[in-house]
Amino acid sequence: MKLSVVIPVYNEKTTLKEIIEKVKAVEGLDVEIILVDDASTDGSIGILRQIGNDQPDLKIFFKKTNEGKGAALRDGFKQTTGDYVIVQDADLEYDPQDYLKLIRGLEEENVSVVYGSRFSGNYEDMSSLHYWGNKLLTLVTNVLYGVLLTDMETCYKLLPGDFVRNINIRSSRFNFEPEITAKILKSKMRIREVPISYKGRSFSEGKKITWKDGISALYTLIKYRFVD
């Protein structure tokens, strides 16, 4: 199975090289790495250009204007060729070694999508705001869509390649997560969750999602319950 790893980048110069090394260190997988820089201003662009010269196997794209994570992923998904696709944040909150756990989750009958659940695994350094925000959004997802997820907002969503290359993602920011979840569930695909590890970072360390994104995510969940 070929796995496409899409990495959206915005001002992540301190972790770029390390996260690429970690993705490449996952053994036993045919991995395609696609990086989309969302008009970074901190020097990430220069680092990516250097990495691209040194590692021509990487697919690296540069957006001229900053549009948000969802927009970067929308562009990245179009460049994938893998049987399955997963999103990897450019920071170090998630461990690429967990890809193997998600792929094993596909072995269960009638499962086509696998989510990595932080709350059924090991999570560290998650602020109270993010903890309760994640819990609330997952609860709303369960109520609206009739499922029993534990972590809707997880970055690690293992998705069929044909699905992501053909789906119309409208969300340009962090509300990508609820939109893709809504469209998966409305497509009648079954989601299985597997435990993963997570180590959060603070705003001073570069975390970007805020309470305003939580409000937007809530609106997105409700919106896509009733519209396509």
- pLDDT, tens digit only, all 228 positions of the chain: 899 999 999 999 999 999 999 999 999 999 999 999 999 999 999 999 999 999 999 999 999 999 999 999 999 999 999 999 999 999 999 999 999 999 999 998 889 999 999 998 888 878 788 889 899 999 999 999 999 999 999 999 999 999 999 999 998 877 899 999 999 999 999 999 999 999 985 555 555 667 677 788 898 999 989 887
Asked whether 78 and 183 are in contact (CB, 8 A), the reply is: no
Q: What is the CATH number of the domain that holds 172?
A: 3.90.550.10
Q: What are phi and psi of 199, to 5 degrees?
A: -130, 105
Distances (CA, A) of 173 to 68, 179, 217: 4, 11, 10
pTM equals 0.91
Task: Report CA 6 to chain centroid distance, whole Å.
Answer: 8
Which amino acid, one-letter code, is at 125?
D
What tens digit of pLDDT does each residue of 71-95 get?
Answer: 999 999 999 999 999 999 999 999 9
Average pLDDT, the chain: 92
Task: Give the burial class of 204: count Cβ atoms within 10 A of its Cβ; 0-12 exposed, 13-18 middle, 19 or more buried.
Answer: exposed
Structure tokens at 92: 């170090």
Number of compact structural domains in the chain: 1
What is the pLDDT at residue 215?
Answer: 87
Residue 42's domain comprises 2-226
What is the pLDDT at residue 7?
Answer: 98
What is the pLDDT at residue 212?
Answer: 74
